Structure 1
């Protein structure tokens, strides 16, 4: 593999861009109609694609993505140096706390939030 990109289908690309830009404290490496990308690490990107855009590609075989709004459809698990700062920022950005920052059975200390579309984001240390 040369590059990895995880793409979230979002209701509103602009609102989601602002949410992730502020939450991650990163500027998009690409922001054009139909796709926003954030470079998380070298060769690892997080993409935001409007659900109406992906529906044009896959809706003949699968349900429209808008039918899943608010239902967690993925989890992004990010290990960061200061997870509490990320979790606190979600309040001002409209995200929801799902599970407080605490020790987990697998050895990480993790807090879970959701984004504007119900996708789960875990901040771990």
Structure 2
């Protein structure tokens, strides 16, 4: 049985986030109102769902995601040979610098940025 993973980020502005992540991962494989998806690896997709969309699903069971907007709620740790290039593209596309691309004590060279919704993205090599 083949297992597929989809990581879905809740975003304030689907279009704005689509433009940002398109600069990193190319054209989305799905782009409809309520969901944008990018094929980012074998059996791995990155999805962007508007906060209002998930709020309807979680209703009164969990807080509205907009309450946490700007607060780091996850980290995407992207390990790739072109990590420095993606890191620089993210910064050029408007990401906020969190930590410069440098050697880390766990053996990776990593740069950290934050997207417009507060999600932390680590580009590692």
Aligned partner of 2:13 in structure 1 is 12
Cα offsets for 1:23-56 (capped at 9, x unmatched): 23x2101000000000111211000000000000
Question: Which residue does the alignment assign to 2:24?
Answer: 23
What is the TM-score when the length of structure 2 is the normalising length? Answer: 0.95
Instruction: Quote the residue 2:102 is aligned against.
Output: 102
Trace 1:1-125 onto structure 2 (pairs within 5 A): 2-24=3-25, 26-125=26-125
Residues in 2 aligned to 1:58 and 1:69: alpha-carbon distance in whole angstroms: 16
Superposed CA RMSD in Å reads: 1.0
- Unpaired runs of 5+ residues, structure 2, are none
> Can you give the 5+ residue segments of structure 1 that lack an aligned partner in the other structure?
none
- Runs of 4+ deviating beyond 6 Å: none
How far apart are residue 79 of structure 1 and its match? 0.8
Mapped contact 2:91–2:113 kept (Cα < 8 A): no
- Paired residues in the alignment total 124
**How far apart, CA to CA, are the structure 2 residues paired with 1:87 and 1:41?**
18
TM-score by length of 1: 0.95
**Local SS of the residue matching 1:18:** helix
